[in-house]
Chains A and B, each alone.
Chain A
Amino acid sequence: MTRRLLAVALTLGLACGGAAAAAPAQTNGALPHGGAYVLRPDAGASTASLALWFRAPSDGYDGAAPGIAQLAAASCAAVRLAGGKSLADQVRALGGRLVLGGEPDMVSVDVIVPAGSARRALAALTSAYFASTPDATAYALALRDSAVRGVERRYSPDLAMHDVILAQMLASGPGHAPVLPGTADAYTAIPLASVTAFAKRAFASPNAFLALAGAVDASVLDAVTDGDPNAPATAAPIDSQLGPAGTTANVGAAVSGLVYGYAGPPIRDERASTALDFISDYLFDPDRGVVSLRLRDTAADVTGHFLTYHDPGLTVVSISGGDLELAAGQVRAAFAAMATPLPAGAFAAARRAFAYRSAHGWSSPASLADDLAWYAIQGDAAYAPGDASGTYANSIAALDPAYVASVARRYLQTPTVVRLTAEKASPS
């Protein structure tokens, strides 16, 4: 059953730099049985991107089943729907892509289809998550896919380091466990009944945020499946709890590397969060970042990001390849230098470059939908860099050298450090 949605149309201005830019059309509204959506049509787009994201703990509501959220998401994607096809089948038949992902506090389901196919994709997507129950067949398919994805994640340096630094920094909560465990045993230990119960609770409409971008228009919202009208109300953002700062650890892993983590502000401190985004861009942009340029003739690969979680945000810097200590020295020196305000001219150029690169980061339908969904799930939808309100662009414009330096002094001086040492693969 579908119904026409009550849309709250917002006409918002976007402030970019000094000159006025046309505001992208954006519509925000409520889903029929709770949850929310945002619609960002782009008549010039070749694809439609549908991001259906949920607040849900990756290790289950009792914190005892790492991987259950991803296993449940995969199971729902594999359930045969009314037409006889699963969501995965339907997306494939439309020539689209289905991407499952997640963080400790959320599950992301992204469907990207060619222009002209959004309506059918959205019907299948919402039917799979709002109104289906995983069965044994779907569960078996999901076990295999989740295990493969988990192993892939173990061998991805950035993702493996992301998981270990969160586990080291966060003493409790879902962030302490990997989102996608790297062994098949972790998934087979979770019974179908647990997966079904988790899916019913986590993937209810009131728990959802739907971002539609690209080749879409308001008419496709009629295709949303209502789901359970009695599902519980929208959950609050799910936080993990910090442990002591400044600890170090050595762990065996599938890949080698060195990762630094720094606890940051909650998302509601938009000014500090934006300053940390600016610092990450200034130092670690792959092409123009200060640290990236210093290390570009070495074999070291360094990435750095501020992760805008609800509370706390985290700055994570991952180093792999080459001389890890040499690269780590550059990272520490760069953070130390940021404690002193940049000269005004250099700061102005860096801020302008950051404003552009920030916009570039959500310039495709898929990246825009993900951007809007991430910030909504973290509890501050209007602060999304791609949101038409221009809140984030205004926050960039308000940065000044002294404030950025003060944020660096407050949040970037005491790292938690984890060294990963590659272990020999076992015969199994």
Chain B
Amino acid sequence: MIAALALAALGLAPAPVVTRANGITVVAQPDGASVLAGTMLFVRAGLDRQSFAQSGLAALTAETILQTPSAGGVPLRDAIAAAGGSIGYVVDPQSVRFYVEGLGPDEDGLLALFAAALRAPDFSPATVGRARAEVVRSTGARGALGIGLQMLDGTPAGGTAVSLAQFVPDDVRAFYARAYRSGGALVSAAGALGTVAGYAGLAGSLAPGSSAPAGATVAPVAGASHELISRRDIDVPWLVARYPAPRYGSADFGAMLVLASFVDKTLGAVAQLPTLVSRTSADSAVGSIYAFDRPSSNLTVYLYGGVGDPSQAFSTALGVFKAVGAAPIVGSLDEFKAAARGRFAGDVETIEDRAWIAGVFAQDGGSPDYLGRTFASIDAVTPADLRRVAHRYLGDPTIALVLPRQGG
């Protein structure tokens, strides 16, 4: 109660409510101002549950659930759309995240449809075939930035058309049987939850027990000046660089958020973006992505050739980042802190964002108070913290170049 009052005094949202039982964590953020309700289910069935030979199997299994026929015979994804909602999933390094959203009064019905498919997916050749086609389609729809990110990721989350072709329905069934367990599962619901009850028991649709990672994982390629080059049918080059970065909850997390803001400002300056208004259509041309929710967290920066020949500007920016470890940053620390707060708050605006971030922060037994924890960690950053964290992480990045095909 006291904590809630303190947050309100700061103008911050009340912290989500968390309960834990039988290895399942449930996080709730009721919001009377929203007409939407969203529920995110984290299952420990992500990339680390598949071996190298199984690239794409985690995504294929998740998609098979969405393609499972509901009552009436239509795939779950279509049934949920027809019932006034949406469902999707993301395959993360450790988890697959399903997200179901609808108008508050409809959410329980949508969750019931999802729970039925989650409990008993259809592994028939027809359903797995539809799922395979959908995963191939979604993995093929990548822009140049997506190609660069995939080059740095190493293993494409959705596999490739070739790797997916090898799987038969029994492979999908076996992956499901092994990885879709309630142990370590987390449900995070947000929005108009007043009449919604289904989220609390959603993870109960999973079999009890837990699974283990599928053996060795590859350490991320980082900090060693690797350069990866790909040529594609694009008009202008993309430059993407990746640094290792601290995970949320780390003592370095706040400083890295502040550094990410410094990185953004530097990139904007070298790309000569407008100075009055915030980025609009230039958003996709230059920027950074701080992925802090995974074991191998990272900071990715990118620059698109649409703003001119990007190589010199990019080189300049990387040099500036490296120098931060040895000298004070140029600019106001308070302004970079404010930008870091704004950037973080801006990334968690929607019901889906809120469900995701509360779930991330509640993993591993942590508090789901994402705004309070993050703002406090940003406020505590000192100039010495910035130098230390920059020195530790912003050294030599791994660089991916996506270049126009020669002679094309």
A411 to chain B, nearest CB (A): 26
Tell me whether A16 and B103 are in contact in the complex, defined as CB-CB below 8 angstroms, given that A42-B34, A115-B345 are known contacts: yes
Tell me whether A215 and B82 are in contact in the complex, defined as CB-CB below 8 angstroms, given that A14-B35, A24-B33 are known contacts: no
List chain A residues, Cβ under 8 A from B81. 288, 349, 353
A361 to chain B, nearest CB (A): 11
The answer to whether B335 touches A116 (Cβ under 8 A) is no
A interface, how many residues as a size bin? 35 or more
The answer to whether A44 touches B282 (Cβ under 8 A) is no
Tell me whether A24 and B341 are in contact in the complex, defined as CB-CB below 8 angstroms, given that A152-B280, A156-B281, A366-B349 are known contacts: no
Quick check: which of B6-14, B159-167, B383-391 contacts chain A, the rest being far away? Answer: B6-14
Chain B CB within 8 A of A118 CB: yes
The answer to whether A141 touches B345 (Cβ under 8 A) is no
With the chains together, A222 CA to B206 CA distance in Å?
Answer: 52
Tell me whether A363 and B343 are in contact in the complex, defined as CB-CB below 8 angstroms, given that A98-B278, A215-B11, A356-B86 are known contacts: no
B12 — nearest CB in chain A belongs to which residue?
A115
With the chains together, A91 CA to B190 CA distance in Å?
Answer: 29
Chain A CB within 8 A of B406 CB: no
Chain B CB within 8 A of A189 CB: no
The answer to whether B13 touches A92 (Cβ under 8 A) is no
- A10-66 at interface with B (beta carbon < 8 Å): 14, 16-22, 24-25, 40-47
With the chains together, A355 CA to B86 CA distance in Å?
Answer: 12
- A349-402 at interface with B (beta carbon < 8 Å): 349, 352-353, 355-357, 359-360, 363-366
B interface, how many residues as a size bin? 35 or more
With the chains together, A142 CA to B275 CA distance in Å?
Answer: 9
Chain B CB within 8 A of A159 CB: yes
The answer to whether B84 touches A356 (Cβ under 8 A) is yes
Chain B CB within 8 A of A99 CB: yes
With the chains together, A148 CA to B351 CA distance in Å?
Answer: 33
The answer to whether A99 touches B32 (Cβ under 8 A) is no
Chain B CB within 8 A of A88 CB: yes
Partner of B137, one of A45, A74, A296, A356: A296
List chain B residues, Cβ under 8 A from A24. 32-35
List chain A residues, Cβ under 8 A from B341. 95, 114
The answer to whether A352 touches B83 (Cβ under 8 A) is yes
Chain B CB within 8 A of A200 CB: no
- A129-179 at interface with B (beta carbon < 8 Å): 141-142, 144-145, 148-149, 152-153, 155-156, 159
The answer to whether A152 touches B106 (Cβ under 8 A) is no
List chain B residues, Cβ under 8 A from A92. 335, 338-339
From DSSP, what is the main secondary structure of chain A's interface residues? mixed
Partner of B277, one of A100, A115, A288: A100
Chain A CB within 8 A of B121 CB: no
The answer to whether A145 touches B349 (Cβ under 8 A) is no
Tell me whether A46 and B33 are in contact in the complex, defined as CB-CB below 8 angstroms, given that A92-B335, A144-B274, A352-B82 are known contacts: no
The answer to whether B280 touches A47 (Cβ under 8 A) is no
The answer to whether A353 touches B350 (Cβ under 8 A) is no
The answer to whether A41 touches B33 (Cβ under 8 A) is yes
The answer to whether A44 touches B342 (Cβ under 8 A) is no
With the chains together, A35 CA to B34 CA distance in Å?
Answer: 27
List chain A residues, Cβ under 8 A from B276. 74, 77-78, 86, 88, 98, 100, 141-142, 145
Chain B CB within 8 A of A192 CB: no
With the chains together, A306 CA to B195 CA distance in Å?
Answer: 33
List chain A residues, Cβ under 8 A from B337. 95
Chain B CB within 8 A of A5 CB: no
**10 smallest beta-carbon distances between A and B, as pairs:** A95-B342, A19-B105, A116-B11, A95-B338, A42-B33, A349-B82, A44-B31, A97-B278, A114-B345, A352-B84
Interface residues of A (CB under 8 A from B): 14, 16-22, 24-25, 40-47, 74, 77-78, 86, 88, 91-101, 112-118, 141-142, 144-145, 148-149, 152-153, 155-156, 159, 214-215, 287-288, 296-297, 349, 352-353, 355-357, 359-360, 363-366
